[in-house]
């Protein structure tokens, strides 16, 4: 296939581009690097089938020549990013999704929407399956991301119902791994950055709130399975193993060997208290389940960060992990 990947310079987008190229597909990566990074895709230029277009898809998503699929991953994803870029986040979720859908429609191509567990908001139902409509504050600070993705789902299925576009939607739960920005504000990388630099690990709330952490390689397998299918979804993609934030902090301290203390701060507005996906649909329709244990994935992520230099300063080397 020839696949257009919007947001292909981001954390997940770059992995998707790489996985498609390695299996023999051609890839057109579109990104304006508002939150992605050129270094994420620097190694992909060795593939003759890789193309890059510098583009803001909320303005236009134009790809010359025929394409077989569009994977729409473009969007700020971490709270610091979408709170810093609220209008851009709303634009890429609305106009950007519409432009990507039009690209798919013109080419009679498969369209994959990367949605999010944030459509469930601070859920009143636990665990969450795809039938749950969510508990989202439409005017809260997080709404710029939550509602952008909810609109993206609505317009995508409208294109499927009204225009026959081959749309598939997946809802991504917390995903982590190498190639994330060290200070992007999500909990796994925040804890790793703080532990490796000897700073206190900051927990917001009492630490009993839960998340479900999916390693990046597992998530990418799910994206490709959905891209290759004709399923509409939405399907949850995430690790159904539920972790408290406090337990994650202790795991990071154990893996890094850090003696950082833990500090507690007030819980941010509308921050979800519990998150755990039911993945029955993804298992039944895509044959997908996550395989990487959280301890193993965090260990890989720590080692990746240890092995690299960063623009925001060197890391303090601490004891080797014993897991």
317 inside domain: no
**Is residue 318's pLDDT more than 90?**
no
Question: Residue 124, Cβ neighbours under 10 Å: how many?
Answer: 13
The verdict on whether 145 is a catalytic residue reads yes
pLDDT score of 319: 29
Mean pLDDT of 49-59: 98
**Is residue 316's pLDDT more than 50?**
no
Catalytic residue among 15, 82, 120, 145: 145
296 inside domain: no
167 inside domain: yes
pLDDT score of 184: 84
Over the stretch 70-117, which tens digit does the pLDDT of each residue have?
A: 999 999 999 899 999 999 999 999 999 999 999 999 999 999 999 999
Average pLDDT across the chain, whole number: 93
152 inside domain: yes
Per-residue DSSP letters for 21-57? HHTT-EEEEEE--SSS-GGGTGGGGGSTTEEEEE--T
247 inside domain: no
Mean pLDDT of 289-293: 97
- 34, 49, 38, 168: which is closest to 100 by C-alpha? 168
CATH code at position 101: 3.40.50.720
Over the stretch 217-228, which tens digit does the pLDDT of each residue have?
A: 999 999 999 999
Peptide bond into 310 cis (omega under 30): no
272 inside domain: no
d(CA 66, CA 102): 13
> Total domain count for the chain?
1
253 inside domain: no
Over the stretch 113-122, which tens digit does the pLDDT of each residue have?
A: 999 999 999 9
pLDDT band at 269, cuts 50/70/90? confident
Go through the chain and tell me how many residues it has.
323
| Model pTM score | 0.93
- 163, 7, 24, 164: which is closest to 77 by C-alpha? 7
> What range defines the domain where residue 137 resides?
2-176+213-237
321 inside domain: no
């Amino acid at each position: 296939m020839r696949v257009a990947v919007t947001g292909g310079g981001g954390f997940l987008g770059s992995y998707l581009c790489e996985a498609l190229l390695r299996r023999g597909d051609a890839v057109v990566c579109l990104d304006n690097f508002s939150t992605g990074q050129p270094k994420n895709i620097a190694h992909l230029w060795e593939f003759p089938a890789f193309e890059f277009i510098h583009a803001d898809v909320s303005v236009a998503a134009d790809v010359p020549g025929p394409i077989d699929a569009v994977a729409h991953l473009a969007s700020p994803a971490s709270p610091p990013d979408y709170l810093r870029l609220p209008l851009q986040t709303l634009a890429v979720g609305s106009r950007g999704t519409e432009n990507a859908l039009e690209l798919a429609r013109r080419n009679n191509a498969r369209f994959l929407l990367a949605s999010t567990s944030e459509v469930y908001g601070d859920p009143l139902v636990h665990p969450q399956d795809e039938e749950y409509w969510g508990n989202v504050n439409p005017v809260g600070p997080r709404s710029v991301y939550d509602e952008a993705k909810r609109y993206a789902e609505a317009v995508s299925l409208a294109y499927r119902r009204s225009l026959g576009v081959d749309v598939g939607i997946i809802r991504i739960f917390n995903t982590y791994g190498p190639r994330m920005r060290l200070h992007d504000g999500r909990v796994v990388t925040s804890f790793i950055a703080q532990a490796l630099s000897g700073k206190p690990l900051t927990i917001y709330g009492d630490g009993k709130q839960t998340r479900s952490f999916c390693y990046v390689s597992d998530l990418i397998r799910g994206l490709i399975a959905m891209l290759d299918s004709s399923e509409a979804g939405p399907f949850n993609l995430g690790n159904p193993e539920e972790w408290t934030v406090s337990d994650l902090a202790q795991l990071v301290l154990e893996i890094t060997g850090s003696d950082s203390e833990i500090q507690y701060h007030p819980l941010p507005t509308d921050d979800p208290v519990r998150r755990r996906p039911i993945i029955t649909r993804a298992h039944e329709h895509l044959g997908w389940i996550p395989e990487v244990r959280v301890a193993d994935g965090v260990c890989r992520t720590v080692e990746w960060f240890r092995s690299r230099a960063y623009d925001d300063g060197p890391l303090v080397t601490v004891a080797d992990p014993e897991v």
